[in-house]
């Protein structure tokens, strides 16, 4: 059974997955879709038509603007912003107030298991690859490969992370997760998991 706080503003046109929780002052707009067991924290915003996979967490005061698409198990830290306007302006060149017809929203895509740290900004259109980690306060302006650890303004890759989220250690020509022992091989800025023979 889902839980929606009395002070949350959830559109009746939103689809909320079983076991999901939406906390105080959060807003979930029309046609947004949340998978099972999601958490939307206090004061967070989920825009019209945003799609969020199962077991994802949107922490307090995060802003997830449409048309963002988040995979299963995505973590969005407190006060993260996923933008949707490449060339933002309040008015047209003629000085008139812009309307929805005066611009085309573009989205951020975040793949399975990826995490975006507190107060990071992802400037659409970008894709954050599966199991990648965006450090707190980073500004992402280009695609992030799977398993990459990026930090800074603008964000740059500073390492690799495993599925447990910990930075991988270099051991010979492999990268190894200190928590799980999973091994990865790097080739052309791409990390591939090495299967262990049984």
Of residues 118, 142, 132, the one with CA closest to residue 73: 132
Instruction: Give the strands of the sheet with 183-187, arranged side by side.
Output: 169-171, 174-176, 183-187, 190-194
pLDDT in tens, 134-192: 999 999 999 999 999 999 999 999 999 999 999 999 999 999 999 999 999 999 989 99
d(Cα 190, Cα 177) in Å, to the nearest integer?
A: 16
Q: What is the pTM of this model?
A: 0.94
d(Cα 29, Cα 27) in Å, to the nearest integer?
A: 6
d(Cα 187, Cα 146) in Å, to the nearest integer?
A: 13
pLDDT in tens, 119-146: 999 999 999 999 999 999 999 999 999 9
pLDDT in tens, 3-60: 999 999 999 999 999 999 999 999 999 999 999 999 999 999 999 999 999 999 999 9
Q: Strands 21-22 and 57-58: what pairing?
A: unpaired
Which of 15-24, 87-96, 107-116 comes out lowest in average pLDDT? 87-96
């Amino acid at each position: 059974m889902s839980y929606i706080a009395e002070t949350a503003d959830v559109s009746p046109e939103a689809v909320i997955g079983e076991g999901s929780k939406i906390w105080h002052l959060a807003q979930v707009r029309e046609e947004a879709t949340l998978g099972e067991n999601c958490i939307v924290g206090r004061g967070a915003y989920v825009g019209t038509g945003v799609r969020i996979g199962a077991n994802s967490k949107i922490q307090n005061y995060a802003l997830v603007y449409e048309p963002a698409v988040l995979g299963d198990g995505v973590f969005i830290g407190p006060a993260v912003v996923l933008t949707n306007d490449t060339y933002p302006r309040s008015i047209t060149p003629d000085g008139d107030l812009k309307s929805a017809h005066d611009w085309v929203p573009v989205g951020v895509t975040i793949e399975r298991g990826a995490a975006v740290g507190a107060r990071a900004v992802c400037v659409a259109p970008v894709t954050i690859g599966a199991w990648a980690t965006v450090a707190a306060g980073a500004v992402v302006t280009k695609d992030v490969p799977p398993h990459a650890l990026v930090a800074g303004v603008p964000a740059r890759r500073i390492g690799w992370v495993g599925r447990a989220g910990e930075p991988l250690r270099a051991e010979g020509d492999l990268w190894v997760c200190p928590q799980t022992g999973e091994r990865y091989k790097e080739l052309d800025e791409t990390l591939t998991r090495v299967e262990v023979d049984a």
